[in-house]
Homo-oligomer: A and B are copies of this chain.
Amino acid sequence: MAASSATAFMINGFDPTTADRLTQDEQNLIARRRKLLGPSYKLFYEHPVHVVRAEGVWLYDPEGNAFLDVYNNVPSVGHCHPRVVDAIAKQSKVLNTHTRYLHEDILKYSEDLLATYPDEISNVMYTCTGSEAVDLALRIARYYTGGTGIIVTANAYHGLTTAVAEISPSMGPNVPIGQHVYVVEAPDDYRGNGEDIGEVFAQRVEDAIKKMTRHGIKFAAFIADGIFSTDGILTDPPGFLKKTADVVQAAGGLYIADEVQPGFGRTGTHWWGFQRHGIVPDLVVMGKPMGNGMPIAGVAAKPEVLESFGNDIRYFNTFGANTVSIAAAQAVLDVIKDEDLMANSVKIGDYMVDGMKKLQQKYEHVGDVRGAGLFLAMEFVTDRTSKKPDAKLSLNVVNGLREKRILISAASPSGNVLKIRPPLPFTAEHADVFLSGLDEVLAANS
């Protein structure tokens, strides 16, 4: 099995080693998946979860057992939020069409969405998925700059199209990194030995620009998920990306903020992850939580960056921003505001960090606890001096929590970092369930 964190907790079809704990029903479903969907379709956990309904932060299996969702960021305002469900049902009955006819709702939504952005970013284009949005951002950046060179971090994941997979080194050796793609080490403050990680990381990016220029490749863009989700959730200190943005923009490249992970208020203090760093990107990619599960994503942009692309190149996304997707997205935006979910993200995020730091004092393999709002990480190491990643413990914790019906996953190149990313209406009571489950599983693995 590949070392990639994203495959570490999946089985590929039917795995005989887990057969003893699979029900007949689960075995049948797994066999049909393998037969119909082929080998690409992986499942979470050594013992996969069969879900039939969900509500708020809970998923339910056919027997009615409740699983606490501490992982899914797509149903960001809560599974099956009634306002989102109603918006979808209502609009589906009335009209579901594309953007080549005039319609009010896309404009009202765009106004509300762009109001969450700095003034410089005043245009938005819509796609259906984050991958399509990253792909579009790359097309725009390359057309605008006339360059092709892209800089990414060492275990970045930005999506699944041909062009986006090749800027996603976490895909592993079977998906070659593009020849115009330069990879820099991720900004790991935990292993930074007290250096200014902002300075260090900016220097890495500057070196990469020089290197590609020397190879005759014109620099087009730097792209990062501002929370470095697949690189291990590298959140600290806020502001450390400012110097990098300066370096990128001074070199004539575009700064593309991939907000698929941190966006839509997850970090609590800001709508967008880049705001934690005090920067203004040229292009911003949005995705997952945008429609609470409805496939809608997009690119927000400085208008001058879009102008030539939009004038010269036809771009029409058939389902992108259709009237039903927009209705869902509007409901999500409204709920984030009306239910004060960003304040909740700060409050419960801090509460969870406190709880996790107590566990850190208790368990020596917990090397670090960090995060921003409700995007949190617990990093396991073999010992605190070498800080060597302990991926086995991480795997055991993820699968151990699943047995307690608490769902999370892991990240980082080796998979040694717990990826804790619940729906935003998470409460202190939910956090307590998670923290005590984590305590028990860590105790069992000590």
Binding site for B on A (CB under 8 A): 2, 4, 6-7, 10, 12, 26, 29-30, 32-33, 35-44, 48-54, 59, 72, 74-75, 79-80, 84-85, 88-89, 92-104, 106-107, 110-111, 114, 122-125, 127-132, 135-136, 138-139, 143, 160-163, 165, 171-172, 174-175, 287-288, 292-295, 301, 303, 306-307, 309-320, 322, 324-325
Interface of A is mostly: mixed
| This chain's copy number in the assembly | 2
Instruction: Using CB atoms, name the residue of chain B closest to A87.
Output: B92
CB closest residue in chain B, given A12: B311
| A50-B101 in contact (CB<8A) | yes
* Contact of A95 with B74 in the complex, beta carbons under 8 Å: no
Q: Which partner residue on chain B sits nearest A88 by CB separation?
A: B92
A160 touches B315 (CB 8 A): yes
Given known pairs A102-B49, A295-B128, A319-B293, the reply for A36 and B80 (CB within 8 Å) is no
29 contacts between A and B (CB under 8 A): A4-B314, A7-B314, A33-B106, A36-B107, A36-B111, A37-B125, A38-B306, A38-B307, A39-B307, A40-B315, A42-B316, A43-B102, A44-B101, A51-B97, A54-B95, A72-B97, A79-B96, A96-B293, A97-B293, A128-B128, A128-B319, A131-B132, A160-B317, A161-B162, A161-B163, A171-B313, A288-B318, A295-B295, A295-B325
The one of B50, B100, B139, B165 that contacts A10, using a Cβ cutoff of 8 Å: B100
8 further contact pairs, Cβ within 8 A, besides A52-B95, A161-B162, A294-B324:
A42-B100, A74-B319, A85-B92, A129-B129, A129-B132, A131-B317, A136-B160, A139-B165
Contact A44 B97 (CB under 8 A): no
Q: A38 contacts B303, CB within 8 Å?
A: yes
Q: Is the CB of A174 within 8 A of B313?
A: yes
Q: How far is the CA of A75 from the CA of B92 in the complex (A)?
A: 11
Chain B residue, CB-CB nearest to A29: B102
Q: A322 to B296, alpha carbons, bound, how many Å?
A: 13
Which B residue's beta carbon lies closest to that of A174?
B312
Q: How far is the CB of A148 from chain B (nearest CB, A)?
A: 11
Closest residue of chain B to A33, judged by CB?
B107
The answer to whether B314 touches A42 (Cβ under 8 A) is yes
Measured between C-beta atoms, what is the minimum distance from A230 to chain B in Å? Answer: 11
Q: Is the CB of A49 within 8 A of B101?
A: yes
Interface centre among A35, A59, A111 (most CB of B within 10 A): A35
Cα(A315)–Cα(B111), bound, Å: 34
Whether A162 lies near B138 (C-beta < 8 A) is yes
User: Which residue of B has the minimal Cβ distance to A25?
Assistant: B102
Sort A-B residue pairs by CB-CB distance and give the 10 closest, nearest first. Answer: A39-B310, A162-B163, A89-B89, A96-B293, A40-B310, A295-B319, A50-B102, A295-B295, A36-B110, A38-B123
**Chain B residues, CB < 8 A from A106:** 33, 37
- A315 and B53 CA atoms in complex are apart in Å by 25
* Bound Cα distance from A252 to B283, whole angstroms: 41
